[in-house]
Amino acid sequence: MEFKDYYKTLGVPKTATEKEIKQAFRKLARKLHPDVNPGDKTAEAKFKEVNEAYEVLGDPEKRKKYDELGANWRMYEQAGAQGGANPFAGSWNVGGTGGGGFRGMTQEEMEELFGDSNPFSDFFTTFFGGGTGGAQREPRGAGRVRQRPGRDIENEIELPLEDAYRGSTHRLSLRHDGHARSVDVRIPAGVIDGSRVRISGEGEQGQGGAAAGDLYLRVRLAPHPVFELKGRDLYTKVLVPVMTAVLGGEASVMTLSGKPARLRIPPLTQNGQIFRLKGYGMPTVGKPEDKADLYARIEVQLPADLSTEERELWEALRKASGDAAKGHSAA
């Protein structure tokens, strides 16, 4: 049996404090966790070693006994070779809490994660599991179905801008383990591109009675022929007759609510000028009364045809403004 140097596994000296041991374990556990390294058997093996090391060094009682064993390792090895009793038998205690308020994984959690009957080394099992070297034990959880929570699922849903503005209900067809069923999903008002809507318990089914995962719908907004969304503000174009742009007046601006808003056009409004209509943009999710703004870009509409009377009036206006047509010679 090989002696396990748990200090070396965590990369700390034997004089390390509880805080230093905890910090070392946390750093290595995050780096080597199977969720971060899917399918990496090397990282999986190192993760087990790191967890086992912290199971001992993170508990002051276990660490003390481990330090005593380290100094007398040869004594135990010789006793075992001569058929003698384990000189340290009965002095070890299995726990799962660790020290310093930050614990490693329990044996049951390790078995759940890796599917092994005993994820700890023979060294650990002998001294901290109450066993006798190669003694075998019944796997924890034998005779029952191992519980495993279902995974979360993420799908994309395309929404018209009007549905995102008002909120809407959509019927989705979901398929789990070959079984299809329908579920009504409520989309809250105010979602925008990239928003995620959580539907609890509609993800992958759990095993052994464990809870199902959740379904997340990632929102993608369909292009709109009239409005453009930037953040939560809406942008649109407003056609204004040239006479209104010059002399001033009012224009009707379509909004996503379906009700037009009145926009005051000041005299001499320029083509491309932008006006803000406060509170006509997208609402905030969960706060439908809190709306962003609508920006209207003016497009001055020139007449497509003139009657004889209208043409005479435009000619009179041109003369009055001193902008009569003049001939220009080429340079």
Whether 153-221 and 228-304 share one fold: the answer is yes
Distance CA 216, CA 197 (A): 5
3-state helix, strand, coil in the chain (%, to 5): 30, 25, 45
Q: Pull the structure tokens for residue 134.
A: 């190669």
Tens digit of each residue's pLDDT (9 = 90 or more) over 40-77: 889 888 988 998 889 888 888 888 888 887 766 555 65
Distance CA 280, CA 135 (A): 74
Mean pLDDT confidence for 169-177 = 79
Mean pLDDT confidence for 236-250 = 94
Sign of torsion, CA 234 236 240 245?
A: positive
Q: Pull the structure tokens for residue 146.
A: 């191992």
When pLDDT is cut at 50, 70 and 90, the band that residue 328 belongs to is very low
pTM over 0.85: no
3-state class of 99 per DSSP?
coil
3-state class of 86 per DSSP?
coil
Measure the N-to-C terminal CA separation of the chain; round to a whole number of Å: 103
Mean pLDDT confidence for 231-255 = 94
Contact 174, 213 (CB under 8 A): no
| Nearest C-alpha neighbor of 144 from the set 210, 201, 97 | 210
Residue 220, beta-bridge partner list:
158
Mean pLDDT confidence for 27-38 = 84
Per-residue pLDDT, 331? 43
The yes-or-no verdict on residue 295 having pLDDT over 90 is yes
Give buried/exposed letters for 16-32 (b at 16+ CB in 10 A, else e).
Answer: bebeebbbbbeebbeeb
Percent of the chain residues topping a pLDDT of 70:
74
| Residue 24: φ, ψ to 5° | -65, -45
Contact 227, 281 (CB under 8 A): no
CATH code of 153-221, in short, is: 2.60.260.20
- On the 0-12 / 13-18 / 19+ scale of CB atoms within 10 A, 107 is buried
Q: Pull the structure tokens for residue 72.
A: 């007398």
Per-residue pLDDT, 227? 96
| Superfamily of structural domain 6-128 | DnaJ domain (1.10.287.110)
Per-residue pLDDT, 98? 40
Contact 11, 46 (CB under 8 A): no
Distance CA 317, CA 213 (A): 73
Query: If you search the block for the tokens 């591109």, which residue do you land on?
Result: 193
Instruction: Please name the amino acid found at residue 30.
Output: R
| Helix runs in 116-157, H state only | 122-128
The yes-or-no verdict on residue 294 having pLDDT over 90 is yes
Distance CA 119, CA 92 (A): 18
| Nearest C-alpha neighbor of 261 from the set 234, 242, 241, 288 | 234
Distance CA 153, CA 162 (A): 26
Mean pLDDT confidence for 75-104 = 46
Task: Determine the Cα angle at 277 with ends 272 and 283, to 5°.
Answer: 125
Mean pLDDT confidence for 25-52 = 86
Mean pLDDT confidence for 207-222 = 84
Mean pLDDT confidence for 249-254 = 94
Mean pLDDT confidence for 219-224 = 93
Tens digit of each residue's pLDDT (9 = 90 or more) over 114-168: 555 566 777 777 666 643 333 344 444 444 456 677 788 888 889 999 999 999 9
Contact 110, 120 (CB under 8 A): yes
Per-residue pLDDT, 132? 36
| Nearest C-alpha neighbor of 187 from the set 218, 233, 229, 225 | 218
Q: Which residue has the higher pLDDT, 130 or 296?
A: 296
When pLDDT is cut at 50, 70 and 90, the band that residue 255 belongs to is very high
Q: Where are the domains of the chain?
A: 6-128, 153-221, 228-304
Annotation: CATH topology of 228-304: HSP40/DNAj peptide-binding domain (2.60.260)
The yes-or-no verdict on residue 330 having pLDDT over 50 is no
Mean pLDDT confidence for 156-184 = 84
